[in-house]
């Protein structure tokens, strides 16, 4: 849990007489903590809080609520193809450098303002710099009064990284059960929790299982994920970044995490290399919410048609690479034109990357996003250049950007 430098035999050890505890109460809002509940934001220590054990059982099935409701993010590709569930668990899967943290911070930016409840950000084993930047960004945006941050970053020992997720959940459960508020729990990165468990397991001399992972990985992950649940008093909606080692989605850590989620958003290195950001893979990403009973018949039909068009384009890519676009039938050429325009339209400039891209961030409502896709599929934009649909918000911006290009 803490560095071991300076420890020696014969030193006096004090027994606290209890488990690891986390502070809970209204006083934790707008503060930043480590795994022990110490404030790390250079402000005075918190007062007027209760201390609770970080080890709690998940709520029993009788107390859980089963209402299905969509949680809008304002990001077109997610809201259309992999809608998130209010009170559900969503994972952002991707290898190194494809945009998991950027997408997570954009979601925080879009949701924390709209979210009337409490937001809890838990940094597990990631960069300290990102934590500090997030704190400053939230302070400037004025949303810190409804936010709590906990960090056990990559410079901490494995015990601290392994338990900081439990501390964050203890706070989330307090706000859900005692204050009856909805909680948005953001975790970056759940793979580092598994990795910390692997290090602890190695230090304890346990026999490793597949690929060197700890034999208890499934149980440890379930112990954390099952506590993220909706009850009759409130909901905990969780969005988790999941690092995929070497882009291998068959890795045991990724496979175990997939099974706990209601929405899986897969980020693709190929799309990132083509400059299509957010680099969400529309064919691999999925959500349990994408059924006619939850999102409605029109949304479901459109999402299926978008996926079908993009899948057909994917199959035709080999033929295009070998023979060229001219060898395709007129119908196939139309499919390619639609798919390429859809790909461009599903990109979006982010608020959190304004300083790098020079483009103003856009928040797009689900209705605008669906309208845009429907109009592209009806070939309304076949005479517009593909670039007119790249990095825009609502579809009508394509017309203005295209007109300005003609004027130039």
State the burial class of residue 96 (Cβ atoms within 10 Å of its Cβ: 0-12, 13-18, 19+). exposed
User: Which residues are designated catalytic?
Assistant: 100, 126-127
**Angle, alpha carbons 78-84-89 (nearest 5°):** 125
Distance in angstroms (rounded) separating the CA atoms of residues 386 and 389: 6
């Amino acid at each position: 849990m803490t560095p071991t430098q300076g420890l020696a035999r014969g030193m006096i050890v004090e027994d606290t007489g209890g488990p690891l505890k986390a502070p809970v109460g209204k006083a934790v809002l707008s503060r930043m903590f480590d795994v022990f509940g110490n404030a790390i934001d250079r402000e005075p220590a918190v007062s007027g809080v209760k201390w609770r054990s970080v080890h709690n059982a998940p709520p029993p099935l009788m107390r859980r609520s089963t209402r299905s409701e969509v949680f809008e993010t304002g990001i077109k590709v997610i809201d259309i193809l992999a809608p998130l569930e209010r009170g559900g668990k969503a994972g952002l899967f991707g290898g190194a450098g494809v945009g998991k943290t950027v997408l997570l911070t954009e979601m925080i930016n879009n949701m924390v303002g709209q979210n009337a409840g409490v937001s809890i950000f838990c940094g597990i084993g990631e960069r300290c710099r990102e934590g500090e930047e997030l704190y400053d960004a939230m302070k400037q945006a004025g949303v810190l009064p409804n936010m709590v941050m906990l960090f056990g970053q990559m410079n901490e020992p494995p015990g601290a990284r392994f338990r900081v997720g439990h501390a964050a959940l203890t706070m989330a459960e307090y706000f859900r059960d005692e204050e009856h508020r909805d909680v948005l729990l953001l975790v970056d990165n759940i793979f580092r929790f598994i990795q910390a468990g692997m290090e602890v397991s190695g230090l304890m001399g346990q026999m490793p299982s597949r690929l060197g992972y700890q034999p208890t990985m499934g149980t440890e992950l379930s112990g954390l994920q099952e506590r993220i649940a909706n009850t009759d008093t409130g909901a905990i909606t969780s969005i988790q970044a999941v690092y995929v080692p070497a882009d291998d989605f068959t890795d045991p850590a990724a496979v175990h995490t997939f099974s706990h989620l209601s929405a899986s958003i897969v980020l693709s290195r190929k799309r990132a290399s083509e400059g299509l950001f957010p680099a969400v893979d529309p064919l691999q990403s999925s959500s349990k919410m994408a059924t006619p009973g939850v999102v409605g018949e029109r949304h479901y039909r459109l999402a299926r048609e978008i996926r079908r068009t993009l899948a057909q384009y994917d199959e035709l890519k080999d033929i295009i690479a070998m023979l060229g676009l001219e060898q395709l039938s007129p119908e196939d050429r139309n499919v390619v034109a639609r798919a390429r325009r859809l790909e461009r339209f599903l990109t979006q400039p982010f608020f959190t990357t304004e300083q790098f891209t020079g483009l103003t961030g856009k928040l797009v409502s689900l209705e605008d996003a669906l309208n845009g896709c429907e109009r592209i599929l009806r070939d309304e934009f076949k005479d517009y250049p593909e670039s007119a649909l790249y990095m825009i918000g609502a579809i009508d911006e394509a017309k203005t950007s295209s007109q300005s290009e003609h004027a130039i």
